[in-house]
Amino acid sequence: MSALIVTGTDTGVGKTVFAAGLTAALGASYWKPVQSGLQDATDSETVKDLSGARVLPETYRLNMPASPHLSAEDEGIEIKLDRLALPQVAGPLVVEGAGGVMVPLTREHFFLDLFARWQAPVLLVARTALGTINHTALSLMALRAAGCTVSGVVFVGDAVPDVEQTIAEMCKVRHLGRLPHIDVLSRATLSDAFEGVDVDTIRKLL
């Protein structure tokens, strides 16, 4: 098994849609270890609908749409990192975090601590909108300081070449393409939009 971690610079950055497209492009399985918020379609359900791939069940399913540590406390549940070891599957595995790099899992641990435990390549999903240089640079600094291997950044949104190039150059990180906004989201439209993502380079990380 070869795992790839997909995380983002913030909540709502587009990493679930990217993870769905990547899962389909790689013929991978998908795992979201912790899901907060069950009222609407979960990330696992979205990925299954958009990729048709094998989706592993979440280890923790929490009702409150909030940071996992708050959602777990609301239900009297203790999230234990030892229960969140990477599952063994045949072929590649795409693993999606929750929100950004520094989202708390517990009062003592961030998602970053889990990424550092796993020691799998990390793909960072970032917006192209205003503010992304700061958010992306801080996320990359945190990942690297924790000993994670950052394999590249994928952008989501309208093309802003100067911003994308600034991040790639100043942060010394590989630019792995850009996923545009998709007006009508489906397997077909996501597959078409994924032409702007450097899947060949990502596949070599496996």
Average pLDDT over residues 65-81: 95
The single-letter DSSP state of residue 103 is -
CA distance 58 to 37: 12
Structure tokens belonging to residue 123? 């793909």
CA distance 194 to 178: 8
32 is catalytic: yes
pLDDT category of residue 175 using cuts at 50, 70 and 90: very high
pTM attached to this predicted model: 0.96
In whole angstroms, how far apart are CA 125 and each of 62, 87, 104, 168, 170?
Answer: 24, 23, 18, 13, 17
Structure tokens belonging to residue 21? 């497209």
- In 122-198 the beta strands, taken as DSSP E runs, fall at 122-127, 150-156, 175-179
Given 32, 80, 172, 204, the catalytic residue: 32
pLDDT category of residue 205 using cuts at 50, 70 and 90: confident
| Residue 168 CA to its chain's centroid (Å) | 19
Average pLDDT over residues 69-88: 96
Confidence (pLDDT) at 206: 84
Q: What is the mean pLDDT of the chain?
A: 96
What is the residue type of 140?
L
pLDDT category of residue 99 using cuts at 50, 70 and 90: confident
Contact predicate 94/54, CB 8 Å: no
SS (H, E, C) 2-14: EEEEEEECCCCCC
pLDDT digits (tens, 9 = 90+) for 100-157: 999 999 999 999 999 999 999 999 999 999 999 999 999 999 999 999 999 999 999 9
Confidence (pLDDT) at 7: 98
Average pLDDT over residues 46-66: 96
For the cut 90, the answer to whether the pLDDT of residue 39 exceeds it is: no
Confidence (pLDDT) at 1: 61
